[in-house]
């Protein structure tokens, strides 16, 4: 009688360990690719916001404020960006500007600010929906918090000549730590 050949325990363990090594290599490659996609998304978002800010400045002669928003006290710069870039303006400073919206945001780029959802922006109906803020692909919001923690930030840089005003826009990046524009932070100036 012939004996049937079967896999030994050692052979099975060798095959399983080879499969484990291959899976770990694939997982590392997939995670690295996902990180590159998020990095690419934040560059596209920042380029879009930068272009929208320049269009706003062309219409109004200045960049939008980073810390004032109608009747809302202490708005984040993310809320200001969402409002000023996403709104339609019937009158500007000289009553001749009919402009905006400067940018259409995707749902994945926004998050509702629950604690400010009851705000009424001068009775224009904008406050019927929760105030929204712009977030980067790592879900860091584009704001400077009152406690000084900066996430993905928009700062208007004032000068004595309003036509020379500039802005900074940066994300604290995937590590979630503010390196003030260095480290893994993604900036609009580099």
Q: Please say if the pLDDT value at position 44 is more than 60.
A: yes
DSSP letter at 3 equals P
- Residues whose CB is less than 8 angstroms from the CB of residue 58 and which lie 6 or more positions away in sequence, other chains included: none
Contact between 89 and 98 under an 8 Å Cβ cutoff? The reply is yes
Q: Which residue has the higher pLDDT, 181 or 183?
A: 183
Distance CA 3, CA 5 (A): 6
- Is 2 part of any domain? no
d(CA 6, CA 149): 62
Kindly report the number of other CB atoms within 10 A of residue 181's CB atom. 17
pLDDT, average across residues 168-175? 82
Q: Which residues pair with 157 in a beta bridge?
A: 166
pLDDT of 29 reads: 94
Please give the residue that has the higher pLDDT: either 84 or 16.
16
User: Are the C-beta atoms of 129 and 33 separated by less than 8 Å?
Assistant: no
The pLDDT of 140-163, averaged and rounded, is 52
Least confident of 69-78, 105-114, 175-184: 69-78
Q: Count of residues for the chain?
A: 190
What pLDDT, on a 0 to 100 scale, did the predictor assign at position 25?
94
pLDDT of residue 34: 92
Q: Which of 113, 178, 169 is nearest to 151 (CA)?
A: 178
* Residue 9 domain flag: no
Q: Is residue 69 one of the residues assigned to a domain?
A: yes
Using left for φ > 0, alpha for ψ between -120 and 50, and beta otherwise, residue 136 falls in: beta
pLDDT tens-digit readout, 82-115: 888 888 776 655 566 578 789 888 888 877 765 5
Q: Give the chain's domain count.
A: 1
- Domain contains 100: yes
Q: Which two three-digit tokens encode residue 157? A: 């840089």
Query: In what order do the strands lie in the sheet containing 153-157?
Result: 153-157, 166-171, 186-187
Q: Does 33 map to a domain?
A: no
Q: Could you tell me the pLDDT band of residue 123, with boundaries at 50, 70 and 90?
A: very low
pLDDT band at residue 81 under the 50/70/90 scheme: confident
Report the C-alpha gap between 142 and 125 in whole angstroms: 24
- Show the domain range for 152: 43-187
Return the pLDDT at 71.
Answer: 56
- For residues 98 and 76, give the distance between their C-alpha atoms in angstroms, rounded to a whole number: 25
Q: Could you tell me what percent of the chain has a pLDDT over 70? A: 65
């Amino acid at each position: 009688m012939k004996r049937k050949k079967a896999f030994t325990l050692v052979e099975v363990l060798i095959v399983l360990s080879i499969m484990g090594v291959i899976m770990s290599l694939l997982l590392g490659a997939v995670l690295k690719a996902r990180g590159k996609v998020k990095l690419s998304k934040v560059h596209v978002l920042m380029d879009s916001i930068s272009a929208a800010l320049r269009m706003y400045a062309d219409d109004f002669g200045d960049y939008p404020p980073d810390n004032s928003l109608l009747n809302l006290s202490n708005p984040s710069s993310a809320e200001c960006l969402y409002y000023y870039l996403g709104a339609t303006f019937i009158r500007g400073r000289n009553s001749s500007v009919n402009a905006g919206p400067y940018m259409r945001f995707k749902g994945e780029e926004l998050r509702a600010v629950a604690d400010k959802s009851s705000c009424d922006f001068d009775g224009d109906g904008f406050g019927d929906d929760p105030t929204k803020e712009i977030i980067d692909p790592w879900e860091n919001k584009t704001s400077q918090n009152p406690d000084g923690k900066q996430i993905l930030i928009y700062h208007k840089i004032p000068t004595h000549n309003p036509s020379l005003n500039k802005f900074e826009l940066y994300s604290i990046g995937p590590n979630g730590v503010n390196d003030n524009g260095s480290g893994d932070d993604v900036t609009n100036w580099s």
